[in-house]
Structure 1
Amino acid sequence: MVTLESRLPACYLTPDDLVDLFDLPSVETVYQWRRKHTGPRGFRVGRHLRFDPADVRTWVESLQGGAAV
């Protein structure tokens, strides 16, 4: 049987993680993406914004025209 825990990634990404990963100028860039609906899909856990690594990968692939990362 597949459980929720077996399908969840080991670590969700924070806005700061995306800044480091993509060498962005500031975390404000991530929040602007969210407001403009142009960045990777994120979700809130309470007041904290998090990103599923699979969603980030899908977003990057969409920018590359679907090419594998």
Structure 2
Amino acid sequence: MGVEELAEYLSVPVQTIYDWRMSGRAPRAYKFGKHLRFAAADIAEWLEQRHEDGPHE
């Protein structure tokens, strides 16, 4: 998945993906020439790491 597709999938601006990369908060990416690609498994792992638990009773 490319940067634009990831931004759309996460409902954030493309610039946010680049900002996250610069600050080390983005999912792991693969670079092919000038192009960044993100693997579905890496995105899923990244999302799981950011999962918030709901309120506990």
Q: TM-score, normalised by structure 2?
A: 0.84
SS in structure 1 of the partner of residue 21 of structure 2 = helix
Gapped regions of structure 2 (runs ≥ 5): 53-57
1:48 maps to amino acid:
H
Q: TM-score, normalised by structure 1?
A: 0.71
Identical positions, percent: 33
Partner of residue 55, structure 2: none
- Answer yes or no: is 1:18 the counterpart of 2:32: no
List structure 1 runs of 4+ shifted beyond 3 angstroms.
none
1:15 maps to amino acid:
V
Give the CA RMSD over aligned residues: 1.0
